[in-house]
């Protein structure tokens, strides 16, 4: 009987973890390795610079950026995905920090770049957040699949849009 209820509890927790993120950003949709590599190429970050990934999912982008010597900060609401990301990036622990939390509460002022795969309805809010928090430094944003309607992309590569905030 305990196994039955434990299974149900885990199933409900998983459904809630994967579904609740719709209120804040996007459902989990794995970003292909090629898209991550293309995004990193667009961002053109140098070793030691800092990339924030908003909704770090399974950690693929975190790992690929760390392999290039980039410092990476990931935010993830789903505890199951957070655990996967943490395990995937153990080797790069000095370069990767993963936060279990809502990226809308994160301070982006230390970022040199941001990577996001959000839903269309959140892009205008992300634009405002970056403008409000960037300070005097330049921040680059690569958005996967969704454009910021009020801003012209500096570059486009497939489904990736690069925006610069000077």
Angle between helices 2-20 and 79-88 (to 10 degrees): 80
Distance in angstroms (rounded) separating the CA atoms of residues 142 and 31: 13
Could you write out the DSSP letters of every residue in 65-125? HHHTT-EEEEEES-HHHHHHHHHHTGGGTTTEEEEES-GGGS--TT-SEEEE---GGGHHH
The CA distance from 151 to 166, in Å, is 13
Q: Give the pLDDT of residue 24.
A: 56
CATH code at 2-165 = 3.40.50.150
**Structural domain boundaries of the chain?**
2-165
End-to-end CA distance of the chain: 60
Each residue's pLDDT, cut to its tens digit, for the chain (166 residues) gives 776 555 655 555 455 445 555 555 566 677 899 999 999 999 999 999 999 999 999 999 999 999 999 999 999 999 999 999 999 999 999 999 999 999 999 999 999 999 999 889 999 999 999 999 998 899 999 999 999 999 999 999 999 999 999 9
Calculated CA dihedral for residues 75, 76, 80, 85, nearest 10 degrees: -30
* Token representation of residue 134: 């960037």
Residue corresponding to tokens 């970056």? 130
What pLDDT, on the 0 to 100 scale, is given for residue 23? 55
pLDDT of amino acid 115: 98
């Amino acid at each position: 009987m305990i196994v039955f209820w434990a299974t149900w509890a885990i199933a409900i927790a998983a459904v809630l973890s994967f579904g609740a993120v719709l209120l804040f950003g996007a459902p989990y949709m794995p970003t292909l390795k090629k898209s991550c590599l293309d995004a990193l190429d667009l961002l053109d970050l140098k070793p030691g610079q800092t990339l924030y990934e908003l909704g770090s999912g399974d950690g693929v982008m975190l790992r690929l950026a760390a392999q290039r010597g980039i410092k990476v900060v990931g935010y993830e609401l789903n505890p199951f995905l957070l655990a996967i990301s943490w395990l995937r990036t153990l080797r790069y622990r000095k370069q990767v920090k993963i936060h279990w939390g809502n990226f809308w509460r994160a301070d982006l002022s230390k970022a040199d770049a941001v990577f996001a795969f959000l839903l269309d309805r959140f892009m205008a809010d992300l634009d405002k957040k970056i403008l409000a928090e960037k300070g005097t430094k330049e921040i680059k944003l690569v958005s996967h699949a969704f454009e910021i309607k009020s801003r012209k992309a500096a570059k486009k590569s497939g489904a990736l849009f690069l925006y610069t905030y000077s």
